[in-house]
Structures are given as structure tokens and as C-alpha cells.
Amino acid sequence: MISTMENAIAFRPTTDGSKRPLARNRILSARFMDSEYAALENFAWSKGMTLSDWVRSVLLHSLEDPGETQMEMHIFTELVGIQMLLMNTLEPLLRGDKFAPEQLTILFRQVQTTKAAKAQELLAKRSQNKEK
């Protein structure tokens, strides 16, 4: 029977009851430009890891909880909603304007219905800026 520890190292029990790490015998490879490789290597070293150990941990971590990305997107969408609400209310409030309850209800509904699309738009714009 093979068991996997939290740090993603697989172990096999031996006859004496101890556990021996399984040999890592599969290799993945990818090609990078020199500048990309240097950036990845520097980042790995900043984390106190070799590049190969860091890449391995990142890849294995991505298998652990695919729902984590969904949660991050949900949190980002909620932050965008808060930003939209502040942007639409702060300036009028600072001018001394007052909102009627109906106005706030409409504003809340607008934010609720548009925040997800705005979050996607912001992420797409950020992605385009990174490519340039």
C-alpha cells in the first residue's frame, strides 16, 4: 500500500515497518527563453528552493485544491463589487449629497449584476498588459 504525505512525497512501507520514499522516475520538461528561465530561477531561489523543487511543488499544489482558484475568483469579484460601490457613492457623499433608499437599492442591484463581468474585464485587460 502506498501512502501520500501532505507534502506530496509518496512513501512505501518496508518489511520492517519503516517508510521509504518512492523513487521519482518521471520527468516533465518545458522550454523557456533565457530571460524567463532566469526570472523563474530567481523566484525559486527567493523562496529558498531550487528551480526544479519549486516547479514540482507548484505543479503538485495545483492538483491539491482546484476549488481554490474558484474561491480566489469569487473573492476578487467581491472586491471589484466593493470598489464599484465605493466609486459610485463616495464622491456624491463627500459633496454632501444624500441617497434615497430607492437609489441605494438600485445601486446595489447594479453592482450585483455587473461585478462579475467587470472582474472578468479587469483580468482580461491585465492579461493583455502582461503580454505587451
Q: How many Cβ atoms from other residues are within 10 Å of residue 51's Cβ?
A: 14
What count of other Cβ atoms lies within 10 Å of the Cβ of residue 86? 12
- Kindly tell me the number of DSSP H helices and DSSP E strands found in the chain: 4, 3
Burial class (CB in 10 A: 0-12, 13-18, 19+), 123: middle
Mean pLDDT of the chain: 85
What pLDDT, on the 0 to 100 scale, is given for residue 1? Answer: 42
Indicate yes or no: pTM above 0.85.
no
**Range with lowest mean pLDDT among 13-27, 51-65, 85-99:** 13-27
64-86 pLDDT tens trace: 766 667 888 999 999 999 999 99
* Percent of the chain at pLDDT exceeding 90: 58
Residue 8 has pLDDT above 60, yes or no: no
pLDDT digits (tens, 9 = 90+) for 25-52: 788 899 999 999 999 999 999 999 999 9
In this prediction, residue 16 has a pLDDT band, given cuts at 50, 70 and 90, of: confident
**The three three-digit cell numbers of residue 11, written as one number:** 512513501
Confidence of residue 4 (pLDDT cuts 50, 70, 90): very low
- Cell for 12? 512505501
78 and 116 Cβ atoms separated by less than 8 Å: no
- The per-residue pLDDT for 2 is 42
Hey, where are the domains in the chain?
Answer: 32-64, 67-127
